[in-house]
Every structure is written in structure tokens, then in C-alpha cells.
Structure 1
Amino acid sequence: MRKGLAVFAAVVVGAAATVVPAVPAMAWPPGTWLEVVRANGSGCSAGTVRAFFAEDTGNQMEVEYSGFTARAGGDSKPHESRSDCQVALMMHMPERYTYGISATYHRGYAHLQEGADATVKTVHAFEGAPDAFTRTVKGPFDSIWTLYHHPPSPRLITWKPCDKDLLYINSELRVDAGTSDPSELSDIAMDTGSGAYDHSYILIWRDCS
């Protein structure tokens, strides 16, 4: 049973579904749209990942996963304790613009027995060194996990190079049954099942010229 809300945050703790950008933002340029170029891994496949702009904001990109879970114990198989997904996104936009990611907000659900734990890792990058964030949740736990980050300074915002097209998002879920009762299932999911925005990327724009 889903009981309450527990918030786990990286760098900044928060519980709002919409996060505040590190610098002032404008709405996305006219004619901008998103395409999932690739989605593969044990936790996802073509058609199970969707990317779109949040309709109630002018600067929030959403990524939605379907069936991305990991589990251990109970009737689970050993290979199900780890699940991953690699996504390549292209933002089609006027050539004069590029964008940066000023904040990220991730949510999912976990049901963990006492003695079990789960880890979520998410990485995004355009090229070079990626921005990586990890959170471990320990059982007993039966609630929503939340992982939120924004750079402490605008100088640390990750920008898409003007000559590059793709944003890469790699995510991983792991469950370790640990000392929990092996007959009881522990699992973690990359979505909350609530229909709310679960994976938000707050964007800012600048001119390439």
C-alpha cells in the first residue's frame, strides 16, 4: 500500500512538482519540439519512453517512462534486481538557439522490506563529463522517492553545444534484498503511477550567435 510521502533530495530538498530555475527563463522558441531518437536497455525499449513540454510552463521538459522497474526477493529473478535505460533526445529548434539544464527533478515509487535497499542513478550529458546524481533508499519504505538538483551557480549550468544535437539521459535502478525476508518482494519504479510529472528538466535558452 502506498502510504505517505518521503522526500530524498540531492543538493536541495524540495517537494514541489515544479522546480525553480537557477536563472530567469524564457519560453521555448517558436517551432520547438522533442523527439526520442533512441531508447534501449533492460528497463526500456522503443515506445516506452516519451518526452514532451509541460503545458503549464514555458520552460519545463518532461520525460516519462513506462514499466521501468527493478525488484528483488519474492518471485523475482536474479537479473531483475538491476534495470537500466539509455535515452537519446533531440530538441528540434531554430538554429540560432541552444539550451541549458538549470534544474532536474525526479520522482518514482519504492516498496522495500526491512533490510532491503534500492538505488536510483540518473545521468544526463551533451558531451564530455556528464552530470550524475544518485540516491539510495533503505527499507522499510513504501512511498515516493524524490531526487532534486540545481547547480549552486549559473556558471555550473550544463549547456548544449551549438554544434551538437542530442541530449543523452542514462538511468539505472538497483534493488538489494540484503537481510530482508527472501520470500518478500522489494521493488523500485521510475514513475509514481500518479499521472503527475515525474522527471522534469528545467530549461533556459541563449543565442548561439
Structure 2
Amino acid sequence: MLGRLGIAVLSVLGVMLTSVEPVTAQVRTVDPPDGHFGMSAVSVRGTGCPVGTTSVIANSDKTAFTVTYSNYTAQNGGGVALFQARAQCVIGVSVSVPQGFTFGIKSTTFRGYADLAAGATGTLDTQYWFVGQPMTGRIQREYRGPFQDNWQATDEVPISAVQWMPCRANYPLNINSQLIVRAGSVNPNTTSLMTMDATDSQITTLYGVTWRAC
């Protein structure tokens, strides 16, 4: 039997436990703050982003930023050189945010075009992370032939999984992406391709952002 003291202690512990919020609930997002939000590509390398074919722009309303590519293609089959089956792009992005605030990526949308013969596959594989933090934000999609159309891949990130740029320093953001095309065995002599280009005047990739105070 519990004495009065034991019951009292348990009661206090119960109040303490029920009053503690989960870590995810402690994240308080805010509206986009006043001040400058800027992004620019400071390093670009890879077969998917030759010099002058890639740009990074922060939206004026501070709710997103866009990355555009104009020469990002992987292709395989039909005598195409094997090295063309994989295209990659690694971008280092300089970031500027309003003082006292930080941001994280809450959603991503990728667009492109694919022409895949029967048996062929096209794969999108992307990651993003702030310098000094673990690689997160990995997104993978696979499209199977026959497929001849525009494609779009969208990913929503729960607030508990958002990776925030560390406060008190504008840490660079790394964006790593690749396209891989496999010819398959059904029509290996037919060229298949996959692009991540804004060929239809739409934005190639869109990263939605969310804000919180430091």
C-alpha cells in the first residue's frame, strides 16, 4: 500500500509528465520574417549542370527557392556511350537570412521529361543538407518504360523531420542530385532518356521553406 507521501509524489510526477510537450511540438514556425532572403550557387559541378546551365533563386515572398537546369539529361541504349547513362549535379549554395531567424526545407518538387522504352527505367535520386550536418532530405523515384511524358516528383517533409540551418551563421546548403537510365533487356537497342530540364517553361525544381526564430 502506498502511503500519503508516495501518492503525493506520484501525483506530482503525473502532472509533470503530462505537462511536458513532445519535442516535435516545441518547434514553433513563424511567418516569413522581414529582411533579406538570398541564395546563390557558389559551386556547381557534374555532368548534369555544365557551366552556365544552372541557377538558384530565392522567391521574393520567402516561401521557397527554385533551382533550374537547362542541360540535365541521362540516356542509355541504342549505342549511347555508357557514361551518359548517369548524370549528376552537386551545387553549393550560399545563403543569407534575416537576423534572428532560420529556415528549413518543408517540401520539394522535381520536374522533367522521360522517354523510356519498354523494359527501361529512369531513376531520380536527390539529397540536400546544410554543411556540417548529416545528409538528409533524400528522395528517390523510379519510372518504368514504356513511358513518354513529363514527370513530376513531390515530397512533403513533416515538421518533426525538417533540417534547420544552424542559427547565428549562414551555413551553405548542398544539393546533390542524379538521374540514372537503365536500358533493360527488352529493347536494349532503343535509346531511352530522362531529363530534369525546364523544357515546358515550368520551374525545374521547387523547394518550399518554413521559418522559425532562433
- TM > 0.5: yes
Amino acid at match of 1:80: Q
Q: Does 1:40 align with 2:40?
A: no
CA separation in 2, counterparts of 1:97 and 1:47? Answer: 32
Residue aligned with 2:47, SS:
coil
* One-letter amino acid matched to 2:69: Y
Aligned to 1:51: 56
What corresponds to 1:74 in structure 2?
Answer: 78
Quote the Cα distance in structure 1 between the aligned partners of 2:154 and 2:30: 18
TM-score (norm 2): 0.79
Once superposed, which parts of structure 1, at least 4 consecutive aligned residues long, lie more than 4 Å away?
none
Higher helix share: 2
Equivalent position to 2:103, from 86, 99, 103: 99
Aligned counterpart in structure 2 of residue 185 of structure 1, from 183, 187, 191: 191
Q: What SS is found at the alignment partner of 1:159?
A: coil
The CA RMSD over aligned residues, in Å, is 1.9
Deviations 1:112-154 (A, max 9, x none): 0011111110101112132211011000000122211112x32
Aligned to 1:161: 166
Judge conservation of contact 1:112–1:142 (CA < 8 Å) in 2.
yes
Residues in 1 aligned to 2:184 and 2:30: alpha-carbon distance in whole angstroms: 44
Partners of 1:29 and 1:93 within 8 A in 2: no
C-alpha distance in 2, partners of 1:49/1:28? 27
Equivalent position of 2:213 in the other structure: 207
Structure 1 residues 29 and 194: alpha-carbon distance in aligned structure 2, compared to 1, 3 A threshold: farther
- Name the stretch that deviates more: 68-77 or 44-53: 44-53
Tell me how far apart the structure 2 counterparts of residues 157 and 46 of structure 1 sit (CA, whole Å): 31
SS in 2 for 1:158: coil
Percent identity over the alignment is 29
Distance 2:51 2:96 in 1: 19
Q: Does 1:111 pair with 2:115?
A: yes
Runs of 5+ consecutive residues of structure 1 not aligned to the other structure: 1-22
Matched, 1:84 2:88: yes
